[in-house]
Every structure is written in structure tokens, then in C-alpha cells.
Amino acid sequence: MSRPRKVVPANSGSSRRRAVAPSARRRLTLVVGLLGLASAGLVARAFDIQVIRKDFYQEQGDARFLREVPIPVSRGTIFDRNGEPLAVSTPMVSITAVPSQVLESDDQLPALAAALGTSTDQLRTYLEQRSNREFAYLKRQMSPEAAQAVLDLGIPGINGQREFRRYYPSGEVTAHVLGFTNIDDHGQEGLELAFDDWLSGQPGRKRVIRDNKGHIVEDVEQIRAPKPGHNLTLSIDRRIQFLAYSELKNAVEKSEADSASMVILDVKTGEVLAMVNMPTYNPNAIGSSTASSRRNRAMTDVLEPGSTIKPVLMAAALSSGQYTPTSPLIDTTGGHWYFQGHDIHDTHNWGVLTPTGVITKSSNVGAAHIAMSLDTKLMYDTYRAFGFGNSTNSGFPGEASGYLKIGRDWRPLEKAIMGYGYGLNVTVLQLANAYATIADGGVMHSPSFIKGSDSPPKAIISPQIAHELIQMLETVIQPGGTGAPYAYVANYAVAGKTGTAHKASAGGYSKNSYTSAFVGIVPATHPRLVAAVVVDNPKKGSYYGGLVSGPVFARVMDGALRLLDIPPDNIGRWYVGQPLQDKNGLIGSKAPEAPDIEEAPVDRVTP
């Protein structure tokens, strides 16, 4: 029996093909549609990024790789009056880091720490504390060689930044005049501070592209051109400055004094040729100094001038018309004047003195009598005219004005003791400038630290009175004067004045603490230089100004006159071992073997 055959429709294959074909087309259409949509989306996205929000994405990219960095500039060089450099800027490199990147190279931290001169733990702690920052200094102002050794480690995130560091070739010799700069090369004290804007210049700015390791790969553009600092030429003579430094240092060590100052001025211009203080400091190692050692005492500290004020008193006396260098005679017999319950006294009983004799012997009794005979307003105005109680306008930061009580408020005792230098406060610079005024024929110049500065002169006293005062001051250095022989300068006539003053203390004046001073003019016949020397509280040996400060003046001036090629004015007295004689007695250039006297300090009085 045969099986029945399955009947297949004749058109079944074509029907299946017809059923499949529409499905494939739909899929193809779907794929093409999706690709078209994706392409349209990409085009739209690209249009949005590159056209609509281009600035936004550009800013985002720049924020990650484009940076503005400073272009460092060199600070101006400071020169002395002869062109010798006193302060220069040397190129250095500071090591910077992107902390998070450096921390990723943990295995290289020991090598980095060793190159930076620190410990690995300290470096890691430092970086971790700043891990959220994009910039941190690791070490400032390394030498280029040492910095290159750090950069050669190739640690991601470590970069070098060029900077400048101030260097002072003369070190502590010129420290108080120049001052110093901070780590960012800005002046902090002294002339570095006073002329900071002039010396600093203006750093430039540029845009750069950094890679993901923080390295600069391209300079994009310069935003601002750098402007280097201007140079500055001072009035200071480095040679004379060194002489003053050496002699003042020796005097402080010899006398075991607390401090000392010396100022040297050019008589004709008021320019400061030297200014030295002890103690001093090294501006190249400022971290080892103290605030006390950095103080420019010649400008910022005040003192009672003692007998160095007497030439100013005598200027008032000669201006009054009541006195001449030789009259009237002043009776100092007994060496004591008990005035309003106070003992004004001298070291000796000088008897009857001329006004010149009051200067020669530095008589406190004589000075007090002269002061009490003068009109108070005249005396006050004269002191004021010589600059006491006012700043000298030198432009030095922190300069003190001193103190001078208003004349109408002077009590009789105050007026008397002001005649020999108590009851007022002055700086060493003010004292030197007062004598420079006498030396320049009664004309005052504002002291200046800049070579060639033009300060308008101001007439204070007549040339005739100034000439008479110099002649009176010459007797101080001659035999019998309080400055002989220690302030004597061979072959030059010297005019000057010693001063020894008790230092003020609680309730009056100390019996055992002194200020020892000498101010001198040389050559006396044609004045060129004035120097003021003040030694504070000498504790070993003598405390008299002529014996402590006089020799410092003499030795420094002897060298300075030679360095400046100033001819001797004492040629007529060049007789080997033999002084000259004139009608007034011995006036030769040969110094006596020992001094006669020094002035006595004031007794303990409270104005």
C-alpha cells in the first residue's frame, strides 16, 4: 500500500522570499537611519563645541595647559661714588612643584629630598599638606648648578623658576646704609627700602603652554615686557667707609663699649661719604642677625650731645653782639656754679676765661653763664636753625628728628644746662651736619646719600661768625685743649670739639655710664670733611670723648685725606721735631705727649 504524497503549493518558495525581503529592507533602513542620526548628532555636537560654545571649551583647555608666568627682572645695581658695586643681583633658580603629581612618584621622594637638603618625611608631609594646590615652592633661590641637579631627576611636577638674589660684596661694612632685601627681592631697610621702586623695575608677564607634567613646552605670547631696575650711585666712598668701619670696630672692642657710630660728610655738598655703626650685621646672612644689630644708630638713635653743642651756643653768643672770641671775660673761678640748687662744675678751676677759652677748656660753668646771658628766643632759634629738633631730610627710612623743647617753655635751669648739651636729644647725623654748616661758612646742606644730589643751601649764620667759630675750635686740638693730642692729624689743621655726657637713667643721670664724642673739621683752613664719632658707654679705660673718640677721628681722617688727595694746610709748620711759635704761644704741628684735660660731665640733674 502506497503512502499518500504531500501536496506543496506551486508558488510557496516565491511567497517565502517575498516575506523575507521586506524585513531586511526595514533593518537596513533602520541601521542607515540610526547612522544618520548619529552623524547628525556628531555634527551638531561638533558645531556646538567648535562654534556655539567654542569660547567655553577654549577657556577650559587653557585653564589646564595655558598659564601666565612672570618674567623676572634684575634689581638695579648700587654703586659707590667711584663706581664700585655695593649691591648686585645674581641669578638663582627656585624649585617649584605640583604637589599631587610629585606624590605619585613616591619612590623618587628620597632622591628629591636629598637634592633639596631635607628629609623624606618632611618633604612628604609638606607635599601632602598642599596636595590640593597646583603650585608650591620647594626651595627658593638655589644656585643654578644645585637646581639643575634637582631638575635632572626628571620627577613629574618638578620645575625650575628663575629668580634673582641680592648680594652685598662689602658685607657688614656697608650694611646699615644699604639695608637688605627680602626673598622676593624687595627692599626691607636702608637705601634698599628708600629707593625700592627705583631699583626694583617691573617684572614682565608671558603666556606659556605646560604639559601634563607641568613643564613649559611653548611660549605663546608676551603680555608685558620686563623693565629692569635702575642703577643707583651713592655718595658713599667704599674706601673711607672701610676705614671708618675698621677704626670704629677697634675702638668698641678696646673700650668694651655697648655701641658706636661715625658719620663723615662732604662739607661743600652735604654728601654722606661714610656712615658706620657698631654692632653691625651681614646682610648676606640676614637670618643670623638681630633687630638691634640692624639698627642704623647714626640715624635712628638719639643722644644728649654734651659739650659738642657748645659751638652752636657760641654761634648764638657771637650773633647776639654781646660776645666776641676774646671778650667779655667770663669768671669760672672755683670750678663750680651752684645754680637753682644744682652744682654745675668743671674738672678744674679755670678762673677767668675768654669765650674762646670756654671752648678750649670745655668749661660747663662758662657755657652756662653764656647761655643765661642770651635772649631765650635767640638761643632757641639758633639751635633750631642748626637742625636740632628737625629731621635732616636725608630721605633715609626711620630717621629720628631728635628733641628740642619749645624755647618759651624753657625753665632757667633747662636753659643753663642746654648751654653744655643736656636737655635736648640729637642724632649723630644732625651733629655732623651742624658742624658741616659751620665749616661751609654758615651754609647748611641737607645730608644726601646720592652722588651729585642738588639740595638747596641755606644760610644759617654769617661767614664771619663761622670763620671765628672754626678758629675757636682749632684751639681744642692745640696744646691745652681737650682734644690734644688724640684728635691731631699730622700736617693738617683740625677744628673740633670733644663731648663727654652722662647717660640719662631713671630719676636723673647715671654716675658710671657715658657717651663719649668728638666732632671735627679738616682741613680747618679750607674745610673739606666733617666727621662725628660717638661711642656709647665705654667700660674699659677712659670714658672722655677726647681719649675715646678723638683717636678714631684722627686715624680715619688721616687716611681719608690721603685717599681724596686733599693737600695739607699746615705746610708752614713742617719743622722736624720743632713746633712754631707765634705771639699767642705754641701752635706747632708736633703733638704734645699727653693731653691736658677733658671736660667734666654734668652732675646729676633732672631738668
Q: Which residues are catalytic?
A: 307
- Assigned C-alpha cell, 197: 621702586
Instruction: Please check whether residue 569 is in contact with residue 510, taking contact to mean a CB–CB distance below 8 angstroms.
Output: no
Beta pairing partners, 221: 207
361 contacts 346 by C-beta, under 8 angstroms: yes
Phi, psi of 344 (to 5 degrees): -95, 120
Residue 283 CB-half CA count within 13 A: 31
**78-79 vs 232-233, strand pairing mode:** parallel
User: For 402-407, which contacts have Cβ atoms below 8 Å and span 24 or more sequence positions?
Assistant: 402/302, 402/426, 402/427, 402/430, 403/302, 404/380, 406/380, 407/376, 407/377, 407/379, 407/380, 407/381
Candidates 281, 310, 550; CA nearest to 435 is: 310
Q: Which residues contact 418 (CB under 8 A, 6 or more apart)?
A: 309, 313, 371, 379, 383, 410, 424
Distance CA(519)–CA(554), nearest Å, equals 11
CA dist 180 and 88 (Å) reads 11
Give the whole-angstrom CA distance, residue 570 versus residue 207: 69
Measure the CA–CA gap between 420 and 346, rounded to whole angstroms: 11
Question: What does the block give as the cell for 188?
Answer: 626691607
The b/e string for 528-552 (b: 16+ C-beta within 10 A; e otherwise) is: bbbbbbbbbbbeeebbbbbbbbbbb
